[in-house]
């Protein structure tokens, strides 16, 4: 009998490594995540399992940056990659290149688990909701700057409450890194001392498109915000974790801006109502004073110095007349100031300027205000009244 060939451990391991990596260079595996551990380096270490086996997995930072959700233990996923062998331990593992949920049901299950967890911690309780200011002077917006949602919110603010100032903190609202981008924008706005409200918004989409607003880190950042937050994510039928933790939920981005701003006509109506109410109160007080004066005039003690009393009465009538006139003048002055401010805002409307033929030039999300700041080596965006054009430098 021939003696079997004798291998060193390293030689045998290398042959196994070659065989596995050659024959399993690309595989797709479905299984349940367990022992998920994100390393400080950004790499992910975890296992996928079914009822009969467990497979160790590694996903490097360069690849997991493209995963739009945060994996959790128990989540069923489909992963793609290649089998590799780690010789020092003699272990084989799957080098994961891509990952996705094994159906929308997995995301929905993760949504419900996180919702229950945060609810149990009290993040959704009404007692933790901050009141929304009725007349904000500055509103911060967290959304994609080039989105239809942002344009709709600007349009609503101009129509309803042109006195308000909008501060945009642009953020990615979909895909890899969106959650981190939203958090960064929220923190940036919270550094300001004069912002009254923050609106976190995005247009409609699938559960995958909206998933950044279902991330736990986003929910906790909204809860920590010292500034009241209104969520306006998706369409009316869409609900995200951000909606539950925000101080106020709006069904759409446009509705969020409507909830954040008063209507100009309502303000004028309120001023008129207060003016009428104040005049009625003053008139009532004057009638009461007149009655007291007449009682005093008809009393025995004032019959002799009647001339003096009449003079004082005329002085009182004069003071009352001036008071009423001055109050009416002040109300008219306030109304004129509001109308003047409204016309001033309309006069400085950028769209009016663009309509005359002017163009806004921007590079790298910044407007170019001087020719010396224009970089001919970079692409530029030209904003006209009716459209935007992107000029791309040709190499």
Burial 247-260 (b: 16+ CB within 10 A, else e): bbbbbbbbbbbbbb
pLDDT at 290 over 80: yes
Nearest residue to 253 (alpha-carbon basis) of 275, 269, 230:
230
CA-CA distance, 101 to 104, in Å (whole number)?
A: 7
- The arithmetic mean of pLDDT across residues 77-83, rounded, is 91
Report the SS3 class of residue 378.
coil
Residues in the chain: 395
Confidence class for position 126, pLDDT limits 50, 70, 90: very high
pLDDT above 90 covers a percentage of the chain that reads 37
pLDDT at 49 over 70: yes
CA-CA distance, 128 to 347, in Å (whole number)?
A: 41
CA-CA distance, 107 to 167, in Å (whole number)?
A: 33
Contact 102, 78 (CB under 8 A): yes
User: Burial level of 363, CB count in 10 A (0-12/13-18/19+)?
Assistant: middle
CA-CA distance, 20 to 221, in Å (whole number)?
A: 45
pLDDT at 171 over 90: yes
Strand ranges in the chain using DSSP code E only, listed in sequence order: 27-38, 44-49, 54-59, 76-86, 91-101, 138-142, 165-168, 197-202, 229-233, 248-249, 360-363, 366-367, 380-383, 388-391
Q: What residues form DSSP beta bridges with 202?
A: 233
pLDDT at 11 over 70: yes
CA-CA distance, 209 to 212, in Å (whole number)?
A: 8
CA atoms in the 13 A half-sphere facing the CB of 51: 0
State the greatest distance between any 2 C-alpha atoms of the chain, in Å, as a whole number: 151
pLDDT at 3 over 70: no
pLDDT value at residue 331: 81
pLDDT value at residue 24: 86
Least confident of 53-62, 145-154, 225-234, 307-316: 307-316
Contact 282, 360 (CB under 8 A): no
List Cβ neighbours of 161 (8 Å cut-off, separation of 6 or more): 261, 262, 263, 264
Confidence class for position 300, pLDDT limits 50, 70, 90: low
Cα dihedral 140, 145, 149, 150 sign: positive
pLDDT value at residue 22: 83
Mean pLDDT, the chain, integer: 86
pLDDT value at residue 321: 79
Nearest residue to 215 (alpha-carbon basis) of 130, 118, 142:
118
Place of tokens 């467990």: 54
């Amino acid at each position: 009998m021939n003696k079997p060939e004798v291998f060193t451990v390293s030689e045998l391991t290398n042959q196994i490594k070659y065989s596995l990596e050659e024959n399993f260079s690309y595989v797709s595996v479905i299984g349940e995540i367990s022992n998920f551990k994100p390393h400080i380096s950004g790499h992910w270490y975890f296992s996928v399992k079914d009822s009969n086996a467990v497979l160790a997995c590694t996903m490097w930072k360069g690849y997991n940056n493209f995963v739009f959700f945060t994996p959790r233990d128990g989540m069923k996923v489909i992963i793609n990659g290649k089998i590799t062998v780690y010789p020092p331990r003699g272990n084989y593992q799957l080098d994961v290149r891509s990952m996705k949920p094994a159906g929308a049901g997995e995301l929905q299950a993760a949504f419900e688990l996180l919702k229950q967890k945060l609810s149990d911690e009290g993040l959704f309780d009404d007692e933790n909701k901050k009141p929304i200011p009725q007349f904000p002077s500055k509103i911060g917006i967290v959304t994609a700057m080039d989105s239809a949602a942002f344009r709709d919110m600007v349009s609503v603010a101009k129509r309803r409450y042109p006195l308000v100032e909008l501060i945009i903190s642009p953020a990615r609202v979909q895909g890899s890194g969106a959650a981190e981008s939203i958090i960064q924008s929220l923190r940036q706005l919270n550094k300001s001392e004069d912002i009254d409200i923050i609106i976190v918004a995005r247009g409609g989409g699938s559960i995958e498109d909206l998933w950044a607003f279902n991330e736990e880190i986003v929910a906790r950042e909204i809860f920590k915000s010292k500034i009241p937050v209104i969520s306006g994510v998706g369409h009316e039928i869409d609900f995200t974790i951000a909606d539950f933790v925000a101080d106020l939920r709006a069904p759409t981005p446009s509705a969020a801006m409507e909830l954040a701003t008063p209507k100009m006509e309502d303000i004028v109506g309120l001023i008129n109502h207060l003016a009428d109410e104040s005049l009625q109160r003053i008139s009532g007080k004057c009638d009461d004073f007149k009655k007291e004066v007449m009682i005093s005039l008809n009393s025995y003690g004032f019959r002799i110095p009647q001339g003096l009393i009449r003079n004082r009465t005329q002085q009182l009538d004069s003071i009352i007349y001036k008071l009423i006139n001055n109050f009416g003048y002040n109300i008219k002055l306030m109304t004129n100031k509001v109308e003047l401010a409204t016309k001033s805002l309309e006069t400085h409307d950028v769209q009016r300027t663009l309509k005359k033929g002017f163009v806004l030039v921007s590079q790298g999300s910044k407007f170019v205000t001087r020719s010396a700041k224009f970089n001919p080596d970079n692409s530029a965006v030209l904003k006209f009244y009716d459209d935007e054009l992107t000029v791309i430098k040709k190499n």
